[in-house]
Amino acid sequence: MWQSAFMQGELCRLYPSCEVEILAMSTRGDEMLDVSLAKVGGKGLFVKELEAALADGRADIAVHSAKDVPMDLPEGFCLAAIGSREDPRDAFVSFRHASLDTLPRGALVGTSSLRREAQLREQHPGLAFGALRGNLDTRLSKLDRGDYDAIVLAVAGLKRLGLGSRVRTVLEPEVSLPAAGQGALAIECRAERADLVELLAALNDPATAACVRAERAVSRALGGSCQLPLGAYAQLEGAEIPEIRLRGLVAAPDGSRIVRAEARGPVQEPERTGEQLAQALLAGGADTILSSIQ
């Protein structure tokens, strides 16, 4: 709802005569909280109902967390804009402990992400991990009542809801490489709506869009899903002629093996850079991990 209200405000700011209404909806991803996403269809559960509303005309646009949007959209749909990115990193949240390094052996860490869990298991093999689902209030309340010693969440979500003070430590990409699209908002509409595509272009942030497109290309090339612990994070580097620096990893779910790689390429060809990184990951052994998971 925050995401939708934010984009509503941006549209009204850009087009004062435009009337923008929010159609509140609940998705299966919001409702099925007693089982991991990897077991019930993945992140696509957060967007299918919204796409149905676009298809039957109940809604004109849908606002998503970019990391929740499947890599291949259904025919007839497009991402018309990707907004400027909030902090894409992961956050360590705990009352009793200042950082991952101060957690005692056997401490229980809550996370909903196989990507986060695999990376943290590699670096902290003495920790225990438990599934954590629900909205931010639900996850934080489980921490506060003592169900977990610490939890790991996206910095972006905490900041957007005014909960940035709950972040004890920000996990740098070297510790926990973000998911493709993390921290960015994506606006989806029907591809045939040229009028909307033109209007929404003003909300597109070219730098963020290039980075997210590169990240999504990595995941697409590797068949990325919730079942695959995969991270992809792009940044623009260089002042005069910026280029994309793209880092990626594929991990065994238990963190026993993680393959990492990096690629660089021109801003104008983000998908190509993403595909090059995917090939580098496969060449480094990610194919073995993929085969074992599939």
- According to the model, what pLDDT value does residue 37 have? 47
Residues 280-288: contacts with CB within 8 Å, 24+ apart?
281/218, 281/222, 281/248, 281/249, 281/250, 282/222, 284/259, 284/260, 285/257, 285/259, 286/222, 286/250, 286/259
Separation CA 29–CA 48 (nearest Å)? 9
Q: Measured in Å, how far apart are the chain's first and last C-alpha atoms?
A: 35
Q: Which domain holds residue 260?
A: 205-294
Catalytic residue among 68, 87, 90, 149: 68
- According to the model, what pLDDT value does residue 46 have? 67
Does a structural domain hold residue 229? Answer: yes
Percent of the chain with pLDDT over 70: 92
Pairing between strand 185-190 and 62-65?
Answer: antiparallel
Can you give the CATH number for the domain in which 99 is found? 3.40.190.10
Q: Alpha carbon 259 to chain centroid distance?
A: 20
Does a structural domain hold residue 179? Answer: no
Same domain, 198 and 209: no
Same domain, 210 and 289: yes
Same domain, 69 and 196: yes
Separation CA 43–CA 63 (nearest Å)? 14
Same domain, 265 and 242: yes
Same domain, 270 and 154: no
Same domain, 212 and 267: yes
More confident residue, 34 or 163: 163
Does a structural domain hold residue 291? Answer: yes
Mean pLDDT for all residues in the chain:
92
Average pLDDT score over residue span 270-294: 94
72 is catalytic: no
Q: Where are the beta strands (DSSP E) in the chain?
A: 62-65, 77-82, 90-93, 108-111, 128-131, 150-154, 169-171, 185-190, 230-237, 243-251, 258-266
- According to the model, what pLDDT value does residue 274 have? 98
Judge whether 90 and 171 are in contact, CB under 8 Å. yes
